[in-house]
Chain A
Amino acid sequence: MVTPGGARRDLQRPLENAVTTIDLLRLFLWVVAAAIVGSVLYVSALERSRDFAVFKAFGTDSGDLVGTLVVQAFVLAGLSAGLAVGLSRLLAALFPAVISFPSRTLVALPLVALAVGLLGSVAGARRAIAVDPASAFGGP
């Protein structure tokens, strides 16, 4: 005797490998996103080393500089998450099948993006903390 639950599980069995693959791919893409956000912020921090030195020479706390980098990371990750949601809705409408977006996904996406942004800002923050205000002196 086949129950409705058993029938559903049986129907989903051929998809198990595909779902596992997509989950792994999704995890990998989050790691890539963290690396991209981190790279962008680190390069930005490197380019602004002299600015950081000047601000420190004027008495700005390292914590305030780190705070601006974290905010920048949040904005970058948040905008990316918003763009991702918009694009997924647009592409879903063009896809020749019904694609549903569970509401928990829409809630989780910005939260994960903020966590990724925070993680990505670590390298840039370390750079900002390490800048010596004495390097603001001297020629260009």
Chain B
Amino acid sequence: MSDLAPAVMSDLVVAGLTVEYVAGGHAMRPLEGFDLCAPGGSFVLLAGPSGSGKTTLLSCLAAILSPAGGSITFGDVEVTALGPRERTAYRRSTVGIVFQAFNLVPSLSATENVMAPLLAAGVRRAEASRRAASLLERVDLADRAAHRPGEMSGGQQQRVAIARALVHDRPLVLADEPTAHLDHVQVDGVLDLLAGLVAPGRVLVAATHDDRLLALGGQRVDLGPAAAPPSPPGR
């Protein structure tokens, strides 16, 4: 087992997921009756054109967006049945997210950025600092621990973001276009790191257009362009 593996084994099951929203005055349905089954330890790659619902699906898996229909179950938790406070607690305890734009807090150092989710979860500062230092060492950035995001390259920032997503040993890691803003040299380091995240007990779901990420293997899911919902009967 990888030394970054979470403690709890969980399967991810998505059944009949439908998401609707209104954009530009038109109702859109980026996901309709979407199904997915990913056992613990699997790597799911979401591929498809822009607007096909990849980020929407990640938002639903993170319990940020509530679907119009269907269900998401992770382990023994039915995510779509959670109330607002439970969804916040679920994200805090279960989900790690790697964002396309890194989204590190510019005024905080690499260590402080990794510590932030731990402090928000009530972990003591000394323990949070120890775990952040350990994670930064794992992503090969121990020597950049005191640097702020503006002083690091894109690849280094994304590795800090990956360390932040893993700091709780979360069993569900979501990555939204993790290589989109990296040059080809930086991409290699991030790809190695992502490949190392695939571990028993963890489900890694990554949305990407990047063929190099798709080449890592895993369960590929192709999403189609968003469709307008069917008109109500009689119209």
Contacts and interface: CB of A to CB of B under 8 A. Distances in A.
Interface of A: 50-51, 54-61, 64, 133-134, 136-140
Nearest to A132: B64
B101 A59 contact: no
Main secondary structure of the interface of B (DSSP, over half): mixed
Contact of B92 (A51, A59, A137, A139): A59
Nearest to B96: A58
B181 A60 contact: no
Contacts, number: 60
* Residue among A59, A64, A134 with most chain B CB within 10 A: A59
Contacts of B89: 59
B100 A138 contact: yes
Given A134-B65, A137-B59, A140-B181, A57 B91 contact: yes
A140 B92 contact: no
B34 interface: no
Contact of B117 (A51, A58, A61, A140): A58
Contact of A58 (B58, B100, B116): B116
B94 to A, nearest CB: 9
A139 B103 contact: no
Interface of B: 55, 58-59, 62, 64-65, 88-93, 95, 97, 99-101, 103, 105, 116-117, 120-121, 176-177, 180-181
Contacts of A50: 103
A55 B116 contact: yes
Q: Which 9 A-B pairs have the closest CB atoms?
A: A59-B92, A59-B91, A140-B101, A60-B120, A58-B117, A54-B103, A133-B64, A137-B55, A134-B64
A140 B64 CA distance: 19
B167 to A, nearest CB: 10
Contacts of B93: 59
14 contacts: A51-B105, A54-B99, A55-B120, A57-B97, A59-B88, A59-B91, A60-B92, A134-B64, A134-B65, A136-B99, A137-B100, A139-B177, A139-B181, A140-B181
